[in-house]
A and B are shown apart, each in its own frame.
Chain A
Amino acid sequence: MGERRLSNTIRTLRFHAGEMTQAELGGKIGVTRQTVAAIEQGKYSPTLETAFRIADVFGVALDEVFRWAED
Chain B
Amino acid sequence: MAFREKIAWLELGTMLVAYGIYFGIVGPAAGFGERRMLDILWSFGPVAAAHGVAMIVGAIAIAVTAVKEAEARSDERDRAIARRGATIGYFVLIAGMILVGVVMPFSEPPWKIVNTALLAIVLAEAVHAAVVLLSYRRGWHG
**Which A residues contact B (CB, under 8 angstroms)?**
30-32, 34-35, 38, 41-47, 50
Contacts and interface: CB of A to CB of B under 8 A. Distances in A.
B138 A35 contact: no
B75 A35 contact: yes
A46 B140 contact: no
B109 to A, nearest CB: 48
B108 interface: no
B102 interface: no
A32 B75 contact: yes
B84 to A, nearest CB: 12
A45 B77 CA distance: 9
B137 to A, nearest CB: 9
Interface residues of B, number: 14
A25 to B, nearest CB: 12
B69 A43 contact: no
Nearest to A49: B76
A44 B141 contact: yes
Contacts of A41: 139
Given A31-B76, A31-B77, A45 B69 contact: no
Contact of B142 (A32, A35, A45, A50): A45
Contacts of B75: 30-32, 35
A30 B72 CA distance: 10
A30 B75 CA distance: 7
A17 to B, nearest CB: 21
B37 interface: no
- Pick the 9 closest A-B CB pairs, nearest first: A43-B139, A31-B75, A34-B2, A35-B77, A45-B141, A44-B77, A32-B75, A44-B140, A35-B75
Contacts of B140: 38, 43-45
Of B69, B75, B142, most A-chain CB atoms within 10 Å: B75
B139 A42 contact: yes
Contacts of A38: 77, 139-140
Contact of B72 (A32, A45, A46, A47): A32
